[in-house]
Chain A
Amino acid sequence: MSDLRDLYQDVILEHSKTPRNFRVQPSADHKAEGFNPLCGDRFTVYVTMEGGAIKDVSFQGSGCAISKASASMMTQSVKGKTLAEAEKIFEGFHEMVTGHAESNTGESELGKLTVFSGVSEFPVRVKCATLAWHTLHAALEGKQDPVSTE
């Protein structure tokens, strides 16, 4: 079962059980809803910006372990970052989970997010891992329609 452990790493399981920044921000200046119809994951991501950087980011909703842990760790990794920096991390994350990462692309930028590298072996779970990120992207772009991974 080594494959399963690649996917369900301890850090991921821990974050799925006790997600960080798992709260509503009533005064957030950016907000978007994301939905994964395949498994019913549904998250709202809240962002408060200050001086061109992400001052606070949080999420609420329900989903599988992968989607929840990914959302939790995303909030930790982008807090304090500029929009450009956050987008760059998403890009690197997306390449990693879809198995398109080039050998020298930003492991250091991804930091702890590299625990999600095992997702690339489970193509149907890529949508779970990227849902919160797509939702964050939509929130920052000010999109009104809910994001769907379908």
Chain B
Amino acid sequence: MTTATRGLQVEKRGNHPLDVARVRSDFPILATEVHGKPLVYLDNAATSQKPQAVIDAITRYYQGTNANVHRGVHHLSETATEHYEASRRTAQQFIHAPHLHEIIFVRGTTEGINLVAQTFGRARIGRGDEILITAMEHHSNIVPWQILCDEKGAKLRVAPITDDGELLLDEFAKLLGPKTKLAAVTHVSNALGTVNPLKRMVELGHARKVPVLVDGAQAVPHLEVDVQDLDCDFYTFSGHKVYGPTGIGVLYGKTSLLESMPPYQGGGDMISSVTFDKTTYNKLPYKFEAGTPDIAGAIGLGAALKYVNGLGLEKIGAHEHDLLEYATQTLSAVPGLRLIGTARDKAAVVSFVIEGVHPHDIGTILDQQGIAIRTGHHCSQPIMDRFGIPATARASFAVYNTRAEIDALVQGIEKVKEVFA
């Protein structure tokens, strides 16, 4: 009996609403073996696996409807454009954006943030101004702002976190001052799993007339996001973390802000007319989509979001919460193991260190048992510094993971301890 099927009995006994066996069968890669062992994929915060529906959508596009978008009068171009724009609508509905033109396709969260830094940032932020982030940001929500600050003579301020990995909301509020021109914050921490009190943070920002950008890369796969309810000004996420392909993501921005921003890149599709004297830019969202976009990627992303809708984020969230609780409980019982990131409100991410064993060695030994986790600083070196550690081992869960896979992880950790005994 494989690790995966053993887990299913547990879930069925618990009368779980999500049919995990069926979900697993949607993901062909989960049937593969690594080093002769069934794959236990627990690196979902890095990237998720792809269901057959996504793979098929991409294949269908290339096999049957491949053409450039927004250009041709011919049948294929029209079909490709239709499918590309349908994915934009799916993304709009997925995060409850009020308008379709507020959905800009980008390469991923990193590009979404860079786009805002290079357009909104360059136009609105000057010498002496401040940008506020938190101590739990991914490098992608630190470095674009550092580049901007260096260029403009602006200052990056960092709201601190507690030893549990929770944002100190009072400190965040205090740092929102008259010079703050933007707050850029993560919805869910990739290294700690912390879910931030985003709605409150946006309220605090708006009370100071500070727009708020949200890095939603780790949130969108796990919880319902409603940008209207949050009232955030920008929200960006990556397709590949939500069961879609790599190379595609979404930036949402409020119309008034997007309209006031200069373009990001120049090229085809982002213009309405060009002469050597003057160029008029296209309307939203095309103003920010220069060049031939990742059409296949957008179509794949649409299929992924539909797949998630089909399962239901509520069910996904409940299943992942069960996994988080189980992992927290079983890993806490391992002598010498310390969890890093113990916020009250967490997504399904468990970061840990083991006394006397470097995370990289943990990763290698687990890999030999077919278990894929992330080890290192998770592109969040300041968080590692905050906790005084060079790195952590991180298991992150998705809808297709099982309790049995967590048991396999715990057994794998026993093996690590055996080697290092």
Contacts and interface: CB of A to CB of B under 8 A. Distances in A.
B interface bracket (residues with beta carbon within 8 Å of A): 20 to 34
B241 interface: no
Contact of B359 (A8, A39, A66): A39
B419 A39 contact: no
Interface of A: 1, 3-4, 7-8, 13, 17, 37-42, 62-66, 68, 122, 124-125, 128
B377 A13 contact: no
B368 A40 contact: no
A1 B359 contact: no
- Interface secondary structure of B, over-half rule: mixed
B44 interface: no
A1 B358 contact: no
Interface of B: 35, 356-361, 364-365, 368, 375-377, 381, 384, 390-391, 415, 419-420
Given A4-B365, A64-B358, A39 B376 contact: yes
18 contacts: A8-B420, A13-B419, A37-B377, A38-B376, A39-B359, A39-B360, A40-B360, A40-B377, A40-B390, A40-B391, A62-B390, A63-B358, A64-B358, A64-B360, A64-B361, A66-B360, A68-B358, A122-B364
A146 to B, nearest CB: 14
A134 B323 CA distance: 42
Given A39-B391, A40-B376, A40-B377, A65 B358 contact: yes
A125 B419 contact: no
Contacts of A17: 356
A77 to B, nearest CB: 22
Given A4-B368, A124-B364, 20 more contacts: A1-B415, A3-B35, A7-B364, A8-B361, A8-B365, A8-B419, A17-B356, A39-B358, A39-B359, A39-B360, A39-B376, A39-B390, A39-B391, A40-B390, A41-B390, A42-B390, A65-B358, A65-B361, A66-B360, A68-B358
A13 B390 contact: no
Contacts of B361: 8, 64-66
A39 B420 contact: no
A37 B379 CA distance: 10
**Nearest 7 CB-CB pairs, A to B?**
A40-B390, A64-B358, A39-B360, A64-B360, A40-B391, A65-B361, A64-B361
Contacts of A40: 360, 376-377, 381, 384, 390-391
Contacts of B420: 8, 13, 65
A35 to B, nearest CB: 10
Nearest to B384: A40
Contacts of A63: 358, 390
A74 B125 CA distance: 51
Nearest to B418: A1
Contacts of B360: 38-41, 64, 66, 125, 128
Contacts of A62: 390
B390 A4 contact: no
Contacts of B365: 4, 8
A4 B419 contact: yes
A125 B361 CA distance: 9
A8 B356 CA distance: 14
A62 B391 CA distance: 11
